[in-house]
Every structure is written in structure tokens, then in C-alpha cells.
Structure 1
Amino acid sequence: MFQNIGFPGLILILIIALVIFGPKKLPEIGKAAGQTLREFKKSTRDLTSDVTDELDEAKEIIKENK
């Protein structure tokens, strides 16, 4: 989705955000976005490890039953 946004596009988005939210509110919004992204990545990692653990357990059960 964001593969085609280059440096000029990012500058334009930053300018629009600066006009809409103002310079005082922008750092707070950036911090909140960073925390949300960090939490999303952590949840994704946890979910992936849960699925991997389940697959490993299933492989062990299959090996035991052979």
C-alpha cells in the first residue's frame, strides 16, 4: 500500500499533518503512533510464536504415533 510513497510524498504528508494538528500536538501523535505500532508488532510476534509452538507439538504427537 505504501510502497509507492517516496520522499516527496512523506514531506507532503508531514506538512498536511502539521497544518491539521499544529506543531505542539504532532509529537504526541507520533509517540502514540509509535506505541501502537510497537504493540501491534509484539502481538504479531506472540501470535506467530503461539502458532509455531502448536505446530511443533503436533509434529511431536505425529512422530510418537508412528
Structure 2
Amino acid sequence: MKTKEFKEQLKEMSVEQMIDMENEYREELFNLRFQLATGQLENTARIQTVRKAIARVKTALRQAENN
């Protein structure tokens, strides 16, 4: 998903949905790190993508909190 599309999608979500999304990304990041440690990870760039997605969700949550 493109960054612009992702940001638009976040704007339309409720706070609860964003929290759920963040938790899903954190779980995925944990699994990716586990795969990296065991040598099973094929796409190492996915770790960085998931980390950025978590940061974007946290930013959107913070903005929603301030509004």
C-alpha cells in the first residue's frame, strides 16, 4: 500500500481501529524478528516497512488525541 493511501485510510479509522492495527503490526514485527533470528526471513525490507507503519499509526493516534 502506498504511503498516501495508508495515511488516508488512517484518517477514516476510529481510535479503537487504529489501536488494533498497531497491535497487529507489533505482532507481525515480533514474528519477523523471530524469523530473522532463526534464518527463515526472506524479505528483510519488510521489517523496516512494518516499523514505519507502526510509527504512522502512532502519529495518527497522537493527532487524534490532540483533536
Tell me which interval the TM-score lies in, with the shorter structure as reference length.
0.3 to 0.5
**Larger RCO: 1 or 2 (CA < 8 Å, sep 6+):** 2
Q: Structure 1 length normalisation: TM-score? A: 0.43
| TM-score under structure 2 length normalisation | 0.42
Larger Rg: 1
